[in-house]
Structure 1
């Protein structure tokens, strides 16, 4: 699948020769000999899932580092990666390459799902009704998922509902936000009736009715249609999902697609291009990773120092909350003669709290925080940047908290509280006694922050609850006090910064897209 920009160039060349577009190479998979059997559609569906990885590989910059949970290590020796830093500081613009990467990934996914759905108008003879529903339901859910990410990040976006086959239909202007949400709702509603709940654990990683009900519920929660959201979340509680007893176990690779997993982006280590590498992003840049990953994985890591847990987040954990030690670790080390950070060991954060709030910086700290959720040693593979960690999208604890929120917003705090307390008590905390809607609203927001830390929910939660501007403005003041390298213009959280710029390349290809205000 090619992105829309490249497709226009290809279509222009193809139009020069009818023979070119009607002859198909023998012995190769192509339009002329594919989509002829049920197995072809399964292969195409696997291809429609693949852009989830491309999006997840960069989404944490836009959806977690944008908020107050994470920041970055400032390395004065190496000023590469300034585009990612801009996202955290609200200094980004339309030329930001990370924004372009995510946009492209989501539209690749949309094009692939559109091809499948168009081809399903004439399904192959060997595909029974059950198989048809599985293919259509998963394709619709994937398309809705890609659009749900795009509309929350960019506002109004182009709405493609059929395969892009030529230059003429490749250029589509943006649809209003309401129209995009209407299509998301339609896709998820239809998929809900086609797909089944999970039947066994561990799951295969494919989309099920549980994922569709969860995402459609979140769509309604985002639109403040709480009466529609609550029944969907309640239905998920009847599908066999359960919290794992130990929070830390949720993120072990041995527990991928467990009873707590509603949906996660699938990765697989190896040489077929499906491996993850999140831990390399999250540990420091260092010429020697052995003190973190083990002697058999002693590499020069040039990708690190991103998504670093903030002191603001650490301060929000209650005493005794087991999620703190399960989510955040500390790497102790020393500086070599070139002032490079050399890790010595990974230790518990519980005995290494940095109350000064400056646990960053290659010349100021010999202890670096990092996210532990994708830390699954030992690393014995000879391949660098090659791990087996999935990326969690929806977990059952998330469903319970969203159900509590949807009930509370309907004026039912008493009905909401038990679902929230299931999450708190798993973390080793006493049950909340919040009795009124306002206090429970604050408690739910707090629980979501610490339970789902580093899972790309925090920025969307701040947007959805109308707290992005006040929270991030106050946080920005503290950041600029702590880190002198921040510019005075950083953390200017104006309303236009609640969505990102349409990527520059897209507006050059199609000037009709226009640009979001303020960019």
Structure 2
């Protein structure tokens, strides 16, 4: 059962302005807010903590704030493009081409939202510490442990987006926060918070709250980002061997990949760290507002959302799912050869002005995860209809032929697991999983490769591929539940496939692309691997053959575009002597 936290979240949000991170926030508490005396109880701290959790979904209603990072993680990583047409939400247009600058307003909202999360967690720790003598040792450890786990997450998010960030804890007076420069050791701060959370949080709690295993997984990820592979491996090993969901279920891969993104199966065994949505209707604030644009365009009664056509998977992503006849990925990138059949088909479609008379379904071998991840013409789209192609695409020449398919609600869930009361029916109520167990397995495999343990890495990758190879759960034709919707072929890797560390590294990185596509990880993976310039410029050159208006002339500049600019509005507020702009911006 999900928890409806919206009333307490809004209350807490109104209370927390005093501890905010810059003078952009009010210094005077609003009317009808509670004073310190009313907060300094166990119930008061619990309310503050609920507000800290609420910031996971964003604070200011800007879609860049969403925990899935569909723009800054997936679009910038080449998994998708903005979609729709050039005129809709046009501020994303320069971002996806890396043509934006430090005045980009959505990035300022992301910065502000994450620092509001930091402020809220600091208030939890500060208030709990002030009344520690009124709390049991277990309550104090849990309350402060949850807050510091969340604070580590907010700082991690800021670090991977902006790199050079101010860091401060609950001991810094509110008046001094705007004077904190952006040269702090964020990694040390994050590690300390996560160690504290791991040491103080229980393994079991209630659904929707973080536990020690979520802290362990995030610690491993933080160490992996720093190239501390041996240390990261030890944390991942602990999670894999001992980790459980907050309700005590052992972490495991779900048999059915589609259930990961289905609200009916929220709080499942693969959810290590997630963002809760509330399973009641009547208020869009309980729903995933950050995804409300990301449905096939103009679907009406025959498709989800009745909106907007954003977040269209790239042609390049779809071609990553091409495999050999034996079911192995094309690690040599031969799928990007412009002579391949599907590329020619889609070039013909564009030339003919969306005339799909020449379209034929792809008969080549494909990894089955393509049709769990991408909406393709002629393939069943969850329980709606077969994807009709151009009827669900706003502009083929601008955004390509595909629709998103993860975190899309089902026809049978409309009005029960969606909020259908607003301008779009697409306010869905499934949890978003920030870290899932397959991600942990593949991060552990990456650490094993870098340590030279290739056989251990192969075993971890094969766990993920074995789940994908379960043909019982492959997408089937509507009129024949025994017939696969496409030519799905996938196999596990042999010891011979992991012939060297370089090959094993390519395999693990490719597997992350296939398994986690569209989930907000790709850009940050490319940056930490040091290959963002080569991979994204390859992507622009390939995708630009078809989406000329969008990507013609686009390029990624090494040494600049790995991180977003420090928002100019923040530099103007704090002063250039406090916040230093990132290189190249």
Q: TM-score range by the shorter chain?
A: 0.7 to 0.9
Q: Which of 399, 403, 408 is equivalent to 2:444? A: 403
The alignment's C-alpha RMSD in Å is 2.8
Displacement of 1:361: 5.4
- Show the 5 A alignment for 1:506-517: 506-511=570-575, 512=577, 513-517=579-583
The alignment's TM-score, normalised by the length of structure 1, stands at 0.84
Q: Is the Cα contact below 8 Å between 1:59 and 1:102 reproduced in 2?
A: no
Displacement of 1:306: 2.4
2:491 aligns with 430
Q: Which of 519, 527, 532 is equivalent to 1:455? A: 519
Q: Is the Cα contact below 8 Å between 2:294 and 2:311 reproduced in 1?
A: yes
Distance 1:7 1:367, change over 3 A: closer
Q: Does 1:480 align with 2:544?
A: yes
Q: Does 1:394 align with 2:439?
A: no
Q: Does 1:223 align with 2:226?
A: yes
Distance 1:366 1:204, change over 3 A: closer
Alpha-carbon separation, structure 2, partners of 1:146 and 1:517:
23
Any idea what SS the aligned residue of 1:441 has? helix
Displacement of 1:493: 2.8
Alpha-carbon separation, structure 2, partners of 1:69 and 1:171:
38
Distance 1:454 1:420, change over 3 A: same
Displacement of 1:89: 0.8
Displacement of 1:181: 0.6
1:330 aligns with 376
Q: Does 1:40 align with 2:44?
A: yes
Q: Which of 391, 402, 409 is equivalent to 1:369? A: 402
Q: Is the Cα contact below 8 Å between 1:331 and 1:367 reproduced in 2?
A: no
2:156 aligns with 148
Aligned length: 475
Q: Does 1:139 align with 2:147?
A: yes
Query: What does the per-residue CA deviation read over 1:2-44, in whole Å, with 9 as the maximum and x for residues that have no partner?
Result: 4957735744xx6xxxxxx8xx97xx44233333322221111
1:162 aligns with 170
Distance 1:367 1:504, change over 3 A: closer
Q: Is the Cα contact below 8 Å between 2:540 and 2:552 reproduced in 1?
A: no
Q: Is the Cα contact below 8 Å between 2:67 and 2:432 reproduced in 1?
A: no
Distance 1:266 1:143, change over 3 A: same
2:485 aligns with none
- Show the 5 A alignment for 1:50-69: 50-54=54-58, 55-56=65-66, 59-69=69-79
Q: Which range is displaced more, 260-269 or 409-418? A: 260-269
Distance 1:401 1:309, change over 3 A: same
Q: Is the Cα contact below 8 Å between 1:275 and 1:386 reproduced in 2?
A: yes
Query: What does the per-residue CA deviation read over 1:253-291, in whole Å, with 9 as the maximum and x for residues that have no partner?
Result: 0111111110111122532722114553222443x5322
1:184 aligns with 190
Any idea what SS the aligned residue of 2:260 has? helix
Any idea what SS the aligned residue of 2:285 has? coil
Query: What does the per-residue CA deviation read over 1:397-438, in whole Å, with 9 as the maximum and x for residues that have no partner?
Result: 111111111111101101221111000110013211232222
Displacement of 1:387: 1.7
Displacement of 1:330: 3.4
Q: Is the Cα contact below 8 Å between 1:66 and 1:459 reproduced in 2?
A: yes
Q: Which of 480, 492, 495 is equivalent to 2:556? A: 492
Alpha-carbon separation, structure 2, partners of 1:86 and 1:503:
15
Distance 1:291 1:210, change over 3 A: same
Q: Which range is displaced more, 364-373 or 448-457? A: 364-373
Distance 1:506 1:366, change over 3 A: closer
Q: Does 1:275 align with 2:287?
A: yes
Displacement of 1:152: 1.1
Distance 1:92 1:44, change over 3 A: same
Displacement of 1:167: 4.0
Distance 1:409 1:504, change over 3 A: same
Runs (5+) with no aligned partner, structure 1: 15-20, 333-344
Q: Does 1:307 align with 2:319?
A: no
Q: Is the Cα contact below 8 Å between 1:247 and 1:322 reproduced in 2?
A: no
Runs (5+) with no aligned partner, structure 2: 1-15, 59-64, 244-249, 324-364, 379-383, 470-489
- Show the 5 A alignment for 1:225-244: 225-237=228-240, 238-239=242-243, 240-244=250-254
Alpha-carbon separation, structure 2, partners of 1:10 and 1:105:
15
Distance 1:486 1:471, change over 3 A: same
Alpha-carbon separation, structure 2, partners of 1:266 and 1:307:
22
The alignment's TM-score, normalised by the length of structure 2, stands at 0.75
Query: What does the per-residue CA deviation read over 1:147-195, in whole Å, with 9 as the maximum and x for residues that have no partner?
Result: 111111111111121277544443322124xx11110111111111011
